């Protein structure tokens, strides 16, 4: 009995201690919440800012939630500034919105005036926001071009720039053709079975294999190898990353297996990539013909380190950094390009008159027999530069569906200035979001912004049209623009050139399904992914075209 009383007393003391700790944690959290809300309110009051109705408890969570509730529940968060701007044009008239979603996200200054975006991305490129480093540290330890700043970023950008140049990418096109033909054969197989598939899934595998060819000079075999260890490890680690603190992320935050799983997957990727990098180093001195991105990076790295020739042993620092850079190249390049490809197929299917013109352009450049196009492009890659309408399709797709925007850090002494009104906007303690989606759907800069119209990119004689400065920025503009944009544009033109004339890619969305601005296919939040993806991975059937 005494033992029972002792145990009960001990348990009661433990419960009291737990209760005290819980109250302390709650009080601390509430105090931080109060500080954040008052910090935002003081900024608004000091500068006379016009903002959405702001709650001391919920900030703008209710206002934004009510606006987004009018649209599909899986709509990607990057479109929210556009939704808010259209719902509240009186607040968005200067091209900015102040949004307080803490603690779900950082307090934000969403910017969608092209010249104001240029101020912090081009004219005075600001540092990346800490959210980017926090998000990607588990994947790359912040040893990549996306998360680094200053001298480290400048050094590695100069190392990798030669490999991503237009001239070098064009020299690698014949190897890209081989991977696109694998993708095409997959589509032909789907046409035979008649099954419905998520097109983006195979598109991501194809773009990963193309990146492998560009970076390492070898096929990674992701399209043809079930459960490819490199791809599997990459996708699992992407799924573990935490881009925000919304409730849907809480399970990952508290999962005790997250760190172990990411460590194991990073080890797999290091093992797979290390041998390929060492092979490139071993052969880099006597490779003739096209040079891979890593091969040119090795040469630049050696030269910048003051060496006249490569030693017998590769520098461990170069290997370590290159592995992390390649992981980011694979992440940043594979799903954004595959998503854009999916939206291009969808948009062309929804606009058959444009599709007919694109196919006619391919006939004119490659001849009436589409089976010869792969050979012709491999022999003369510059033919891809003779496809102005195809390029316009890619540009228009990226205008309507940019995969991601850039985020930069605000500071107490840094202000954005509206060039028309001269009004200054503070950035202190804010994450500046270069919202390309909202700006590229703004009727101020684009006629009929929700209409897919590739011909807006061309003059009547087929030459490129001159559009307003700073208004097309799916790869961002300025010194921190995407290093892989030439690779991505080349991939997309190549895939369209080798598939459109022989295959019909038919989206299989229910006609009664939810729409966003009239479209059944929109940028959605997809579980396990970070960037905006097509709803449902773009379910399609494929049909072989009967050619006359």
- DSSP annotation string for 313-339: S--HHHHHHHHHHHHHHHHHHHHHHHH
Tokens of 357: 């013109």
**What tokens were used for 337?**
């390009």
Say how many CA atoms lie within 13 Å of 255 toward its Cβ: 15
Label residue 89 exposed, middle or buried (CB < 10 Å: 0-12, 13-18, 19+). Answer: exposed
Please provide the DSSP assignment of 340-370 as one string. HHHHHHHHHHH-HHHHHHHHHHHHHHH-S-G
121 is in an annotated binding site: no
How far apart, in whole angstroms, are the C-alpha atoms of residue 493 and residue 372?
A: 16
Closest CA to 100 of 47, 48, 62: 62
For residue 520, give Cα distances in angstroms to 75, 250, 523, 539: 12, 30, 10, 11
- Yes or no: say if 230 and 267 are a contact pair by the CB < 8 Å rule: no
Q: Is the dihedral of CA 317, 320, 326, 331 positive or negative?
A: negative
Distance (Å, whole) CA 6 – CA 431: 54
Dihedral sign for Cα atoms in the order 310, 315, 317, 320: positive
Report d(CA 408, CA 274) in Å as an integer.
Answer: 32
CA nearest neighbour of 320 among 533, 531, 156: 156
Could you tell me the two tokens for 400?
A: 């309507």
Residues placed in the known binding site for heme:
482
Binding-site positions: 482
């Amino acid at each position: 009995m005494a033992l029972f009383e002792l145990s009960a007393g001990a348990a009661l003391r433990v419960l009291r201690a737990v209760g005290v700790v819980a109250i302390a944690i709650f009080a601390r959290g509430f105090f931080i919440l109060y500080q954040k809300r008052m910090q935002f309110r003081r900024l608004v009051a000091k500068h006379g800012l016009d903002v959405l109705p702001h709650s001391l408890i919920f900030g703008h969570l209710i206002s934004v939630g009510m606006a987004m509730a009018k649209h599909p529940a899986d709509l990607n968060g990057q479109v929210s500034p556009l939704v808010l701007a259209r719902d509240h044009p009186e607040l968005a008239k200067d091209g900015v919105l102040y949004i307080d979603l803490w603690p779900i996200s950082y307090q934000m200054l969403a910017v969608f005036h092209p010249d104001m975006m240029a101020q912090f991305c081009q004219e005075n490129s600001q540092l990346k926001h800490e959210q980017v480093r926090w998000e990607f540290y588990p994947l790359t330890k912040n040893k990549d071009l996306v998360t680094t700043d200053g001298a480290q970023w400048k050094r590695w950008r100069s190392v990798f720039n030669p490999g991503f140049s237009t001239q070098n990418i064009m020299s690698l096109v014949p190897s890209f053709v081989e991977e696109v033909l694998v993708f095409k054969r997959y589509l032909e197989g789907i046409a035979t079975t008649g099954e419905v598939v998520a097109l983006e899934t195979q598109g991501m595998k194809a773009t990963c294999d193309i990146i492998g060819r560009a970076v390492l000079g070898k096929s990674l075999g992701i399209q043809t190898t079930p459960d490819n260890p490199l791809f599997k490890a990459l996708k699992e680690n992407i799924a573990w990353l935490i881009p925000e603190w919304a409730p849907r992320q809480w399970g990952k935050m508290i999962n005790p297996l997250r760190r172990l799983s990411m460590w194991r997957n990073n080890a797999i990727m290091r093992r797979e990539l290390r041998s390929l990098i060492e092979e490139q180093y071993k052969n880099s001195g006597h490779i003739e013909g096209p040079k891979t991105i890593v091969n040119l990076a090795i040469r630049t790295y050696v030269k910048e380190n003051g060496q006249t020739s490569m030693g017998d042993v590769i520098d461990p620092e170069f290997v370590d950094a290159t592995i992390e850079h390649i992981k980011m190249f694979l992440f940043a390049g594979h799903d954004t390009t595959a998503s854009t490809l999916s939206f291009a197929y969808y948009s062309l299917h929804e606009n058959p008159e444009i599709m007919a013109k694109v196919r006619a352009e391919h006939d004119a450049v490659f001849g009436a027999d589409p089976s010869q196009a792969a050979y012709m492009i491999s022999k003369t890659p510059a033919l891809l530069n003779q496809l102005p309408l195809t390029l316009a399709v890619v540009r228009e797709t990226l205008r309507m569906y940019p995969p991601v925007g850039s985020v930069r850090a605000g500071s107490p002494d840094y202000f954005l200035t509206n060039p028309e009104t001269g009004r200054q906007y503070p950035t202190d303690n804010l994450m500046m979001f270069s919202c390309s989606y909202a700006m590229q759907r703004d009727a101020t800069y684009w006629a009929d912004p929700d209409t897919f119209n590739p011909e807006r990119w061309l003059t009547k004689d087929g030459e490129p049209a001159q559009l307003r400065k700073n208004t097309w920025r799916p790869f961002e503009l300025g010194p921190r623009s995407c290093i892989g944009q030439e690779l991505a544009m080349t991939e997309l033109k190549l895939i369209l050139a080798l598939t459109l004339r022989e295959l019909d890619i038919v989206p299989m969305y229910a006609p009664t399904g939810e729409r966003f601005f009239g479209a059944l296919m929109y940028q959605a939040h997809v579980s396990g992914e970070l960037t905006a993806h097509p709803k449902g991975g773009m379910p399609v059937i494929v049909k072989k075209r009967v050619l006359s």
